[in-house]
Amino acid sequence: MPPAHPFDDDKLREECGIFGVIGVNDAANFVALGLHALQHRGQEAGGIVVHHPEHGFNSARRFGYVRDNFTSASVMETLPGPIGIGHVRYSTAGNKGNTAIRDVQPFFGEFSMGGAAIAHNGNITNANTLRRELIERGSIFQSSSDSECIIHLMARSMGRSIPDRMEEALRKVEGAFSVVAMTRTKLIGVRDPLGVRPLVLGKLGDGWVLSSETCALDIIGAEFLREIEPGEMVVISEQEGVQSHFPFRPRKSRFCIFEHVYFSRPDSILGGRSVYETREAIGRELAKEAPVDADLVCPVPDSGTPAAIGYSLQSGIPYAMGIIRNQYMGRTFIEPSEQIRNMGVRLKLNVNRALIRGKRVILVDDSVVRGTTSRKIKEMILDAGAKEVHFRIASPPTAWPCFYGVDTPQREKLLAATMSEEEMREHLQVDSLSFISLDGLYRAVGEANGRDPKQPQYCDACFSGEYPVRPADMLEQGFQMKAAE
Residues with a known catalytic role: 16
Exposed e or buried b per residue across 152-185, where buried means at least 16 C-beta atoms within 10 angstroms of its C-beta: bbbbebeeeebbebbbbbbebbbbbbbbbbbbbb
* Other Cβ atoms closer than 10 A to 370: 15
The strand pairing partners of 227, in sequence order, are 200
Beta-bridge partners for 232: none
Calpha distance 334→472 (Å, rounded): 41
Gap between the terminal Cα atoms of the chain: 42
In sequence order, which residues have a C-beta less than 8 Å from that of residue 85 and are 6 or more positions away? 18, 19, 20, 21, 31, 48, 49, 106, 117, 118, 119, 180, 181, 182, 187
Separation between Cα atoms, residue 314 and residue 415, nearest integer Å: 29
